[in-house]
Chain A
């Protein structure tokens, strides 16, 4: 009996560390998480990425899957990040006419809003004793995850923290953003949408589309523009603050 167990444990150990098995674990966990998310009524705090990460972490903890092997074979997904980011050009190109009509107000709020998003976040972290690499990981909080990860790597930030900060900011911002905006007298869906896109990127855009079509369009515009603007601003802001 013991032999059977040790044999099957060895088999599992060999097979679960293979690249394909790891892709299966990633995608399978995401599929389950999405099913759960839909079944529970698409609540923001149950973002599929959170439950997926927890599930994958549990698999790593409770099976012979080694964290190093997991990281190494997940490179495949990381490689796809760049072409998937480029695909955002398609919706952006469709909305470019909106930008042309309202170029002045939109560009102005992008320049100031994007700066504020990074500056307030980094400033608060610095003021409460954030270390250099933590503040660097916070610097990309207003950029959609795909671009934030690449920026984080350039600046030497802590990559998992970059991902977590971006995603949690996005989900939280999209939950409280619309309510707070109305409380402070903002009723224009264009203004709420754009602010959501700049500060809460993908999470904000998904939520904005649920609330109002115009809000969604402006949110995705804000998100895409921020992905272009922040990499230009950030080296300067980092040298200013750190």
Chain B
């Protein structure tokens, strides 16, 4: 990251803390990080653009987001008893439920998009 990264980092940290604060004050069910995300989107929409520094920093964060999941994933190897007992519900939820709901969502959206486009043509 170049010397210009600091302002992007500060922006991200500022909205993270602001999101945590808001989520805490209003005791929302939404995690602070998601509130921070929403607030930053609103800010970016109002201010009309992303600064070069924030753009660079966010690209870096998204590129290496997976690194932060390593400790969580390592823990799975210490859960072998649980996995032996509950392998069926876990496997079904991951490998059967995911494709089913994925296809249903895609079918629904394609149908809605066609109807939406059709409705627009009708008006036009």
Option from A125, A134, A159, A177 in Cβ contact (under 8 Å) with B82: A134
Interface residues in B44-72 by Cβ distance below 8 A to A read 44-45, 50, 54-55, 57-59, 61-62, 64-72
Taking a contact as CB atoms under 8 Å apart, the answer to whether A160 and B74 are in contact is yes
Residues of B within 8 A of A96 (CB): 41, 45
User: Residue A26 contacts which of B12, B70, B102 (CB distance < 8 angstroms)?
Assistant: B70
25 A-B residue contacts at CB 8 Å? A26-B71, A82-B19, A82-B36, A83-B33, A85-B37, A86-B37, A90-B44, A113-B104, A117-B105, A121-B93, A125-B93, A134-B86, A134-B89, A141-B97, A141-B98, A145-B69, A147-B34, A150-B31, A160-B72, A163-B73, A172-B95, A172-B99, A180-B103, A181-B102, A202-B66
List A138-166 residues whose CB lies under 8 Å from chain B: 138, 141-142, 145-147, 149-151, 154, 158-165
Inter-subunit contact A195/B76 (CB<8 Å): no
CB distance from B28 to the nearest CB of A (A): 8
Min CB gap B107→A, angstroms: 6
User: Considering only CB atoms, which chain B residue lies closest to A97 in the complex?
Assistant: B45
C-beta contact mask, B90-124 vs A, less than 8 Å → 1, else 0?
Answer: 10111111111111111111101101100000000
A36 within 8 A of B: no
- Are the C-beta atoms of A60 and B93 separated by less than 8 Å? no
Interface centre among B33, B73, B102, B115 (most CB of A within 10 A): B102
Of chain B, the residue at the smallest CB distance from A108 is: B112
Q: Give 11 A-B pairs besides A130-B89, A167-B69 with Cβ atoms closer than 8 angstroms.
A: A49-B73, A83-B12, A83-B33, A84-B61, A87-B12, A90-B40, A125-B89, A130-B90, A159-B75, A172-B95, A177-B103
Stretch of A3-11, A12-20, A38-46, A182-190 with 4 or more beta carbons under 8 angstroms from chain B: A182-190
On chain B, the residues within 8 Å of A123 by CB distance are 97
Asked if A67 and B36 make an inter-chain contact with CB atoms under 8 angstroms apart, the answer reads no
Indicate if A217 sits at the interface (CB-CB under 8 A).
no
A85–B33 touching, CB < 8 Å: yes
Tell me the complex Cα distance, A239–B45, Å: 35
| A162→B82 CA distance, assembly (Å) | 13
Q: Which residues of A contact B54 (CB under 8 A)?
A: 90
What is the chain B residue whose CB lies nearest that of A164?
A: B76
Total A-B pairs, Cβ < 8 A? 308
CB neighbours (8 Å) of B115 from chain A are 105
Contact for B109 among A27, A120, A172, A191, CB less than 8 A:
A191
Q: Which residues of A contact B13 (CB under 8 A)?
A: 83
Distance between Cα atoms of A111 and B107 in the complex (Å): 14
Tell me, yes or no, whether A231 is within 8 Å of chain B by CB.
Answer: yes
Contacts of B112 in A (CB 8 A): 104-105, 108-109
Residues of chain A with a CB closer than 8 A to B36's CB: 82-83, 85-86, 89
